Amino acid sequence: MTDEQSKLPRQRSPAYPYLSLQDAIENLSKLFKKERYSSVPIGIALKHMGYSGVNGASMRVIAALIHFGLINSEGEKQDRKVGVSDLGRNILNERDDSKRLFAIQEAALRPSIHQWVWQKWKLENNPLPSGDNIAYTLIRERDFTDDAAHAFTKEFIATYEFAELFKRLETDIEMESQSFEEKQEIASNVLSPQFQPSLSQIPQEGDIRELTIPLTGRKLAMIRVPKTLNKRDFQLLTMWLQVMENAELYNEDEPNQSGDG
């Protein structure tokens, strides 16, 4: 290596989780068993997870848990503390398998680089491409080093399989194959006062867009949706509104007014 080459800045790959989601949850569980809902200094958190001290490798573990939204971080440097997040608690404590899987899938897509891969190959509608294809694309389009691209690809595929993200596509297909009566029954349950979505299903306040839609007379409809919706989300939203039409949502005796009366 020449002197000029040694002075070149070292290529740094984009941030990605050092651990798969399954490994991250195992570390989270160790922290939760010791501290429950308390925030603790990072050194103590790492000790609970089985690490001997604060160093580059152990800090990548903390970073991975933050990437997945499993822990909250507060403070800086020596005063920095971490604690189990609401999403992390849902994954650890939820007894309903389907709700727990939903929370796990939410965590799986929290890292920005995971979202990029998900959107790049439109995985909500398509199967996962090969690992070689993903790694090659990361090197060409996201400036990953070769080692980092293959390390991340291995992590992403492991997380994809653990979170059963392929079931999101299967669920969409299953929804479309259901009869109108089956969809109507689901819609009635969603409209029931007893229906309570899990915390992991509810977008954060800053991620919500409120839409105001004028109706007949002086009525308005207020719909709260995530700020980022893809085409498939709009299709599902339209489908459920159509199903809810016959789920005792409106009064058949009310006149169809086109003006303000």
Q: Which residues are CB-contacts of 179 (< 8 A; sequence separation ≥ 6)?
A: none
Q: What are phi and psi of 95, to 5 degrees?
A: -90, -25
pLDDT, position 200 = 47
If one counts every other C-beta atom within 10 angstroms of the C-beta of residue 236, the result is 15
The pair of structure tokens assigned to 85 is: 């997040």
Give, in order, the Cα–Cα distances in Å from 23 to each of 88, 231, 247. 13, 33, 43
Q: What is the pLDDT of residue 260?
A: 46
pTM: 0.65
The residues with which 81 forms a beta bridge, in sequence order, are 41, 74
Q: How far apart are CA 145 and CA 23, in angstroms?
A: 23
Assign 72 to helix, strand or coil.
Answer: strand
Q: Give the pLDDT confidence score for residue 185 in this predicted structure.
A: 57
Coil/strand/helix, residue 73 = strand
- pLDDT at residue 261, as a whole number: 44
pLDDT of residue 124: 82
- The confidence score (pLDDT) of residue 246 equals 58
As given in the structure block, the two tokens for residue 32 are: 């939760």
* Single-letter amino acid code for the residue at 12: R
Q: Output the pLDDT for position 170.
A: 54
**Nearest Cα residue to 92 out of 31, 49, 38, 51:** 31
User: What are the boundaries of each domain within the chain?
Assistant: 21-162, 197-244
In angstroms, the Cα distances linking 98 to 33, 70, 86, 134, 226 are 23, 18, 17, 29, 21
Question: Domain 21-162 classified CATH 1.10.10?
Answer: yes
Tell me the C-alpha distance between 145 and 63, whole Å. 19
Q: What is the mean pLDDT of each run of 10 residues along the chain (261 residues)?
A: 51 90 98 96 96 93 96 87 95 89 92 94 90 98 96 98 80 53 54 49 67 84 79 72 62 56 44
